[in-house]
Each structure stands twice: as structure tokens, then as C-alpha cells.
Amino acid sequence: MKKGEFTFTLIKPTAVRLGNLVPILHEIDLAGFAVIAMKMTRLSRAQAERFYEIHKERPFYRDLVEFMSSGPVLAAVLQKENAVNDFRKLIGNTNPSQAEDGTIRKKFARSVQENAIHGSDSDDNALIEANFFFSQFEIFSH
Ligand code: GTP
Ligand code: MG
């Protein structure tokens, strides 16, 4: 995997539960991202705490951890030029009421917390997050 050419995503529990997994993957495909790793899994509370550790001091941290470990998620590594920035544009603002029309969060989010999908916010975090979920043998970089 070349730095700058991949990002990491999680389709969050509510989106999976509501049957929006395939529709969201379709949007990702239409936007030109190639799936190079993918698994459905469920985060333990400890894993969710680690994944969102940077938000430890925020008032919503406990709720966020509870939510992210509440059901299965879909984890994937996506390859594309300028992947991190293009993917953040595709998913839209954290708060769906501020997300632009056509973005995944505008279409599928229920609230700021249950906002359907995660996207890495930097190339460094994309690598950290991909390695959190996948071994090198599970990532099929082109
Ligand atoms: P991620 O791609 O999931 O990291 O979202 P983001 O980068 O757009 O937002 P951020 O990293 O700031 O927040 C991480 C996650 O915490 C968000 O996606 C939401 O699920 C949740 N979150 C952020 N802000 C709030 C908030 O004000 N209240 C609640 N309940 N949850 C929040
Ligand atoms: Mg974030």
C-alpha cells in the first residue's frame, strides 16, 4: 500500500442493522474506490475504546464506545488516488444536518453519533487503522 493512495473505513452498527451496508458499498464503488481488504466483525468495548482513544476526554466518549460495540460493523481498506481527502468528501460532515446533499452521511446517518460511516482523517491514521483491523496477509493492494 502506498501512502496517500488508501484510506480505512468502518460502516457503523446502525447502518449495518438498518440494511444499508450494500447501498453504502455501492456508493463507495461508484465514487471510484477499490476494496483491497474487507471484513465484518464486532468490536469489543476495549477495541472500541482503543479505536476512538483520541476522543477519550470528550463528553460523548462513553456513548460512542457503547454505540460502536453495540453490533457488527464492516471494516474495509479502500484504494484510490487522494483516498483520504476524497473519501472524507464522499462521506460528508460529521453532523448529518450539516452534510452536503449526495454525501453518504446525508443519506444514511441518523444523528451525529450514529452517522453511518467512519473515514480516516489523515494518511498516518489510515495506516494505523488499517493495521488495527487487518494483518498484512488480508490486504490485497493492487
Ligand atoms: P469518524 O470518521 O467516525 O472519526 O468521524 P469524524 O472524523 O467525522 O468525527 P470525529 O472524529 O470528530 O468524531 C468521531 C465520532 O464520534 C463521530 O463520527 C461520531 O460518531 C461521534 N461524535 C462526534 N461528535 C459527537 C458529538 O458531539 N456527540 C456525539 N454523541 N457523538 C459525536
Ligand atoms: Mg474522526
User: CB atoms < 10 A from the CB of 124, how many?
Assistant: 11
- Residue 123 confidence class, pLDDT cut points 50, 70, 90: very high
The pairing of beta strand 117-119 with beta strand 34-41: unpaired
pTM: 0.97
Residue with cell 490486504: 139
Q: What is the pLDDT of residues 83-111, one digit of tens each?
A: 999 999 999 999 999 999 999 999 999 99
Residues lining ligand 1, CB < 6 A?
55, 60, 63-64, 94, 112-113, 115, 118-119, 121
The CATH number given to 6-138 is 3.30.70.141
Best probe residue, ligand 1, of 7, 89, 105, 113 (max atoms within 8 Å of C-beta): 113
Nearest residue by C-alpha to atom 32 in ligand 1: 113
Q: What is the pLDDT of residues 13-23, one digit of tens each?
A: 999 999 999 99
